[in-house]
Amino acid sequence: MDYITFLKFAHVLAAVLWVGGGFAMILATILMSRHAGAQAQMAVVRATVLMAPRLFIPISVFTLATGVALLFLAGWGWQPFTVLGLAGVLFTAGFGALILGPSCERVLKLEETAGPEAALPLMRRVQRLAAIDYSIQFAIVFLMVTKPGWSDFGVLVGLAAVLVMAALATLRPLPRLA
């Protein structure tokens, strides 16, 4: 096995752990919100806060580093999948560090001071923000697999349209709970 193949494997494995781990956390919050009480739902937020510095941040940095290394060592150059993928990874890493992480910590502080029931609305808001983040991550995976060129205008516009629809669907007003 040559070093490029090993680097690709390391990059894909890191991406699987990052995207898959986060998706599992999102799925857990959705399932818990439908089938468990506030205390159990907060346990998922606590687990996410614990995992962020131990898994999500290091693996996102590793994914970025191996991707940039492949950009140059594999000779991929500045193609749409590399440019848009790099932009997406930078966005989602920054979004996680600057928005999602601090928001999860605010949920836990609110739970401490006002109780788990009071923290649920903020937790649901964070859950919706995480869904937007993961639509970007799934778009990155799509780009890495399909590797569209600059002339694949339909694919790029279609992907942008899907991201816009995902954001609109996620940001729509929540129904009031009776």
- Counted domains in the chain: 1
Give which of 128, 118, 129, 123 is closest to 104, Cα–Cα.
123
Tell me, yes or no, whether 176 lies in a domain. Answer: no
Side-chain half-sphere exposure of 70, counting CA atoms within 13 A? 23
Tell me, yes or no, whether 47 lies in a domain. Answer: yes
The one-digit pLDDT tens for each residue of the chain (178 residues) are: 899 999 999 999 999 999 999 889 888 888 888 888 888 888 888 998 899 889 988 999 999 999 999 989 988 888 888 999 999 998 998 888 899 989 999 999 999 999 888 888 888 888 888 888 888 898 898 888 888 888 888 888 888 888 888 777 777 765 555 4
What the block records as the tokens of 156 is: 């790029």
Tell me, yes or no, whether 17 lies in a domain. Answer: yes
Tell me, yes or no, whether 36 lies in a domain. Answer: yes
Tell me, yes or no, whether 165 lies in a domain. Answer: yes
DSSP H/E element including 25: helix 3-35
Domain around 61: 3-171
Tell me how far apart the alpha carbons of residues 123 and 130 are, in angstroms, rounded to a whole number.
Answer: 10
Give which of 64, 121, 127 is closest to 100, Cα–Cα.
127
